[in-house]
Structure 1
Amino acid sequence: MVDASLVQFYRDNGYLLVKGLLSRSEARAYRDESHAVLARLRKTDPTWGSARELGGGATELRHCHDAQFYSAAFTKLLLDPRFTDVAAAVMGTDNVQLHHTKIFVKPAEKGSPFPLHQDAPHLPHTKHTVGAAIFHFDDAPQEKGCVRVVPGSHKNGLLPHIEEGGWHLPPSKWPLESAVPIEAEAGDVLFLTYLTVHGSGVNTAAEARTTLLIQFRDPEDLPVDDVHRSRGQGMMLRGVDPTMRTT
C-alpha cells in the first residue's frame, strides 16, 4: 500500500520521486536492455530545434517508442505492481491503463535538453488523470541533464505552448534554470502529472543518461482528440477497463 503522505505530495506538487523502486542491479539490467534495443534500430534523433538552441550547440538524443514491442523485459516492467500500485494511488483509482512508452538516452557529453513544457498539449484528456513514470536506469545528477520540475504548476491547467521548434513554453517566461532539479539514482522512478511543467538540461557528463517513460491514465479518462496513438495503447496494466461493454 502506498503511503498517503506520498500521494498527498503528488497532488500538492504535481510530482513524486519514489526512491529505489527498482534495485540497482535491476536498473542496470534494464539499462543494458535499453541500449541493446536502440542498437538494433535505425538511428533517429528527435531533438527539438529549440532544444539545440538551449543546448548551445550540437546535441543528440536517442529514443524508441513502444519499447515493449521490442523486448519482453519492458512488458514485464509495465505490469510490475511496484509501479502500477503507485500509478493507481496517485490517480486515485484501482485501474491503470497504458497510453505509451518511450526509451530516452541522452548520450555522454552532448545529450539534448528539453525546454520547459507540459505533456498535456500532445495528448489532452477530459479528466486530466494522465501521468508519467520516468524510470531511471542509471544515476541522473544535474550534470547528466536530470529532469527539472515546477512544483504546483499542474494547478494552472493547460498552458499555451509554442509549436515552432518543438512544443514548449516560452523560454523567456519559463527559463529552464527556474525549475527545481530532481536528481535521481539508478532504480528511482519520478512520477508526474501531464500538466506539470518540466524539462531537462544537457548531459555534459562522461556517461549516458538512460530512462524509460511510461505514460498511463485512468481508463475512464477519455482523450479529447484522436491524437498520439501508439502500439499497445489501452492495454490494462492494473485492474479492469470499466468502459468496455460486450453488448
Structure 2
Amino acid sequence: MTTLSTSPTDLDTLADTYEEQGFVLVKGLLSKEEAADYRARSHELIERLSRGDDPTWDAAEGVAMGQKTSLQHLHDAQFYDAAYTRLLTDPRFTSVAAAVLRTPGVQLHHTKMFIKPPENGSPFPPHQDHPFFPHTHHRVAAAIFHFDDAPDAKGCVRVAPGSHKEGPREHDPKGSFHLPDFPLDQMVPQEAEAGDVLFFTYFTVHSSGINTSDEARTTWLVQFRDPADPPLTDQHNHSLGQGLMLAGSDPTGRAQQA
C-alpha cells in the first residue's frame, strides 16, 4: 500500500509497483470528508436512477455457494452529477493514472458505480477485464475509488499479484467471462479505507467476496486508457463519454473522426 504523493519520485515508485505487481493501492487520494460526500451522492443516485436490475454474474453463485446475493449499480455517474466529472479530471487521480500508464495522455473508457448491500452483497469470481474490451497495446487500466471502508468482511477487491505478466487468459464464455479454475489461494484481499483508490491493469486477475457485514460497500470504477491504444473490437465501446480526455491530449484524433 502506498501513501499518495504527487512528487515525480513518488509517482515513479507507484508506477514501478504497478508494473511489477499489476496493481497499486494508493492510500488517501481523497480525504475522509470527500469520500463521505461521494458516498452520500452515490446512494442518492442509485436510489433515484437505478432501474432495479441486478448485475450479479451467474458465475457468482459458485463463489456464494448457492447463497442468494444482490448488487446495485449505475453507469456513467458523471452524466448525472458534476461532482464525478470533477473527480475524473482531478489532478490527484490523473497524475497517478498517467504515471501507471507511463503516458501523459489519459482517456476515459467508462465508469460504473457499485453498491454491495449489507449481509448479502454479491461477489465477483476471478477474472480479467481484458476480454470485455481488448486493446492493441494493452495500455488499459482501472481505478476503484472507495467511498467507504472496505474490509474483507465487506467483500473488498482481491487481486493476484503478478498475474498480469501472463497476458490474456482463456475465460469461460458461459454467462459472464470468468476464470473458474484460477487458484483462489493466489487472491490477496486489498482491504481499503474511505478515500483509497486501487489501480490495476486489465490483465490483472481480480475478484471480490460477499459483503457479510452490516454496512454497504460503495465504490466507483473508472476504466481508462492511453489514447494512442486503439480497441481491437467494438465490445463495450459505446459508453457515454468514452474518449473524453482526462489529462493531456489525444494524438490520434479518433474522437473527432467518430
TM-score, length of structure 2 as denominator length = 0.92
Matched residue type, 1:219: P
Partner of 1:240: 249
Deviations 1:210-234 (A, max 9, x none): 0000000000000001110201000
Aligned pairs (5 A) from 1:210-221 = 210-221=218-229
Partner residue of 1:191 out of 186, 199, 217: 199
Aligned pairs (5 A) from 1:1-247 = 1-2=7-8, 3=10, 4-41=12-49, 42-56=51-65, 57-170=67-180, 173-228=181-236, 229-244=238-253
Q: CA deviation at 1:167?
A: 1.0
For 2:59, what is the secondary structure of its paired residue?
helix
For 1:49, what is the secondary structure of its paired residue?
coil
Q: Quick check: 1:115–1:176 contact (8 Å CA) kept in 2? A: no
**Alpha-carbon distance in 1 for matches of 2:77, 2:185:** 31
Matched residue type, 1:96: V
Matched residue type, 1:145: G
Q: CA deviation at 1:177?
A: 4.5
Which stretch of the first structure deviates more once superposed, 234-243 or 173-182? 173-182
Q: Quick check: 2:120–2:212 contact (8 Å CA) kept in 1? A: yes
**Alpha-carbon distance in 2 for matches of 1:178, 1:196:** 12
CA RMSD between the two structures: 1.3
Q: Quick check: 1:176–1:199 contact (8 Å CA) kept in 2? A: no
**Alpha-carbon distance in 2 for matches of 1:176, 1:80:** 35
Which stretch of the first structure deviates more once superposed, 2-11 or 93-102? 2-11
Gap runs ≥5 in structure 2: 1-6
**Alpha-carbon distance in 2 for matches of 1:78, 1:49:** 31
Which stretch of the first structure deviates more once superposed, 76-85 or 45-54? 45-54
Matched residue type, 1:135: F
Matched residue type, 2:129: D
For 1:110, what is the secondary structure of its paired residue?
coil
TM-score, length of structure 1 as denominator length = 0.96
**Alpha-carbon distance in 1 for matches of 2:34, 2:13:** 27
Deviations 1:40-99 (A, max 9, x none): 122110001110231121100000111111111111110100000000000000000000
**Alpha-carbon distance in 2 for matches of 1:52, 1:84:** 36
Aligned residues: 245
Matched residue type, 1:225: T
Q: Quick check: 1:10–1:192 contact (8 Å CA) kept in 2? A: yes
**Alpha-carbon distance in 1 for matches of 2:166, 2:76:** 30
Gap runs ≥5 in structure 1: none
Q: Quick check: 1:152–1:196 contact (8 Å CA) kept in 2? A: yes
**Alpha-carbon distance in 1 for matches of 2:39, 2:184:** 27
Q: Quick check: 2:149–2:193 contact (8 Å CA) kept in 1? A: yes
Matched residue type, 1:47: T
Deviations 1:162-217 (A, max 9, x none): 122311012xx214443011000000000000000000000000000000000000
Matched residue type, 2:210: V
